[in-house]
Amino acid sequence: MNALSFHPPDAAQPPQAADEAVVRFEGVAKTFAARGRQTAVAALEDIDLTVRRGAILGVIGRSGAGKSTLIRLVNGLEKPTAGRVLVDGTDVARLPEKDLRQLRRSIGMIFQHFNLLSSRTVYDNIALPLEIAGASREDIRQRVDPLIELVGLADKRSRYPAELSGGQKQRVGIARALATRPKVLLSDEATSALDPETTRSILDLLATINAELKLTILLITHEMAVIRGIARDVAVIDNGRIVEKGDVFDLFTRPRHPTTRTFLAAESGRALPAYVAERLTERAGPGSQAVLRIIFRGSHATDPVLSQITRTFAIDVNILGGTVDAIAGRPFGTLIVAVPDEADLLKRVTAFLTARGLDVEALGFIALEADRASAPAAQNEGGHSHVA
């Protein structure tokens, strides 16, 4: 039996269209009022964002960008100063306290520091939301046992948090968040305290839960690796505003906003190899070549364009760096090349590549002969040159 099959789609809910919004931000602003010496803080402005049913939406932003505030608006821990936050069509800020408590039960949440109760075992931590909701012992057992299986902690059910690794603690956090069969899972930097391998396994678990249980996930993070590891849709938040949003593949391969580019700078392929970055100049110099970044997307990722350029233009192409990777399951490649800086050659090569569906960025110029030329020069300075 599939470990997840115990959890059919919530029978209490009518069937809903896949593109329907589970969470919707409509023109949301949040300002924290001035207090004492502190001036007012505009934490969020003009936020329009939709989390579709069954989707995984990642929101990425730097520290202080407004991510936590965004998530706290969803479960009513904060109220917007302007606009509305709707969960399944209900305006969260307008709910009376009793209904808000009810709504919170339908929203699961996982945290960076897990927030487990140290005096409770794995089983009892997962059972806690059900106890609070007044479920019977038997109902709790029937719900918690398969959840422990689901997150792979069957052999740890009577252990205490102090006896678990970070990844295991987060698995408990995930099982606890699922206990009340939420319609949406909010993930607040849930993998930030974990090493890359454990992060991978937690993201895999979340992806499985999303796929098998059709659970909608809104996750916030400051790590592009998390976005590329799990999200299909992404919004970039900067200074309280959404500066770019869309499909993860498009955003990774065609970032438009400088903040997005900054996040991507360390990503494979986009970062220039150090030896290129150090020598790159804005203007052409004697003997320099033009440096291009060629971006291959989707079906073009494996096109043999270098040999085509070499043949078509009868030139040599120097490869300075490159990677081929997959993002959201689609191939994506980057090549950094140098071509002769001659007359309108650059323009013609760019047009040739663009016509074949590739993106081309002119990065600057590089003098590849500089190393060979500089060695004798250095010797000359020391007065030991054997070069005539």
In whole angstroms, the minimum distance from the beta carbon of 30 to ligand ATP comes to 8
Q: How far apart are CA 161 and CA 117, in angstroms?
A: 8
Nearer to ligand ATP, 70 or 290 (CB): 70
Nearer to ligand ATP, 32 or 111 (CB): 32
Nearer to ligand ATP, 242 or 294 (CB): 242
Nearer to ligand ATP, 16 or 112 (CB): 112
Q: Which residues pair with 162 in a beta bridge?
A: none
Query: Counting contacts by CB under 6 A, is residue 111 touching ligand ATP?
Result: no
Nearest to residue 240, comparing CAs of 21, 24, 28?
28
Contacts for 346 with CB less than 8 Å, ≥ 6 apart: 290, 292, 339, 362
Q: How far apart are CA 98 and CA 77, in angstroms?
A: 14
Nearer to ligand ATP, 68 or 350 (CB): 68
In whole angstroms, the minimum distance from the beta carbon of 69 to ligand ATP comes to 3
Q: Write phi, then psi, for 207 (nearest 5 degrees).
A: -65, -40
Site for ligand ATP in 219-238 (CB under 6 A): 222
Span near ligand ATP by CB under 6 A; candidates 57-65, 128-136, 283-291, 380-388: 57-65
Nearer to ligand ATP, 63 or 136 (CB): 63
Span near ligand ATP by CB under 6 A; candidates 1-9, 59-67, 119-127, 332-340: 59-67
Q: Angle between the 166-178 and 137-150 helix axes, to the nearest 10 degrees?
A: 130
Query: Counting contacts by CB under 6 A, is residue 59 touching ligand ATP?
Result: no
Nearer to ligand ATP, 28 or 43 (CB): 43
C-alpha distances (whole Å) from 82 to each of 10, 67, 79, 90 are 33, 17, 9, 16
Query: Counting contacts by CB under 6 A, is residue 69 touching ligand ATP?
Result: yes
Query: Counting contacts by CB under 6 A, is residue 65 touching ligand ATP?
Result: yes
Q: Count of residues binding ligand ATP (CB under 6 A)?
A: 12
In whole angstroms, the minimum distance from the beta carbon of 116 to ligand ATP comes to 20
Q: Considering only residues 7, 50, 52, 66, which one is a binding residue for ligand ATP as defined by CB under 6 A?
A: 66
Query: Counting contacts by CB under 6 A, is residue 136 touching ligand ATP?
Result: no
Query: Counting contacts by CB under 6 A, is residue 63 touching ligand ATP?
Result: yes
Q: Considering only residues 58, 61, 108, 161, which one is a binding residue for ligand ATP as defined by CB under 6 A?
A: 61
The residues binding ligand ATP (CB under 6 A) are: 32, 41, 43, 61, 63-69, 222
